[in-house]
Amino acid sequence: MTTPHTDSIPCCLIVDDEAPLRAVLRRILEQQGFTCRDAASGVEAVALLEEAPAALVLTDYHMPEMDGVALLHTIRERWPDTAVVMVTGVSDVDLAVQCLAAGAMDYVTKPFRVDEIRGRVGQALEKRQLLLENKAYREHLEARVQAQARAYEELFLASLQSLADALEVKDPYTWGHSVRVGQYAMAIARELGLDADRLAQLELGSRLHDIGKIGVREAVLNKEGALTHEEYHHIMEHPVIGWRILSPLLRDAPHALGVVRSHHERFDGRGAPDGLAGEQIPLEARIAAVADSFDAMTSGRPYRAGMAVDEAFAELERCAGSQFDPECVAAFSRALEARSFPLPDSRVRRPTVRPSRVA
Which of helix, strand or coil describes residue 84? strand
Closest residue to Fe ion using C-beta atoms:
210
Stretch that binds Fe ion, among 6-14, 62-70, 202-210, 270-278 (CB under 5 A): 202-210
Cβ atoms of residues 217 and 234 within 8 Å: yes
Stretch that binds Fe ion, among 93-101, 140-148, 151-159, 205-213 (CB under 5 A): 205-213
191 near Fe ion, rule: CB under 5 A: no
Distance in Å, CB of 79 to Fe ion, minimum: 58
For residue 5, give the nearest of 127, 136, 105 by alpha carbon. 136
Stretch that binds Fe ion, among 169-177, 190-198, 204-212, 327-335 (CB under 5 A): 204-212
Stretch that binds Fe ion, among 127-135, 152-160, 209-217, 307-315 (CB under 5 A): 209-217
Size of the site for Fe ion (CB under 5 A): 1
Distance in Å, CB of 199 to Fe ion, minimum: 21
Stretch that binds Fe ion, among 6-14, 15-23, 101-109, 207-215 (CB under 5 A): 207-215
Distance in Å, CB of 259 to Fe ion, minimum: 10
CA distances from 108 to 85, 86, 284 (A): 7, 6, 64
| Closer to Fe ion by Cβ: residue 128 or 207 | 207
Give the long-range contacts of residues 148-152, CB within 8 A, separation 24 or more: none
CA distances from 150 to 122, 130, 201 (A): 42, 30, 16
Asked whether the bond before 111 is cis by omega within 30 degrees of 0, the reply is: yes
Q: How many CA atoms lie within 13 A of 105 on its CB side?
A: 26
Q: Which of 191, 210, 265, 311 touches Fe ion (CB under 5 A)? A: 210
Cβ atoms of residues 316 and 157 within 8 Å: no
Distance in Å, CB of 239 to Fe ion, minimum: 6
Distance in Å, CB of 296 to Fe ion, minimum: 9
Rounded to whole angstroms, how far apart are CA atoms 130 and 143? 20
| Closer to Fe ion by Cβ: residue 103 or 215 | 215
The residue ranges that bind Fe ion (CB under 5 A) are 210
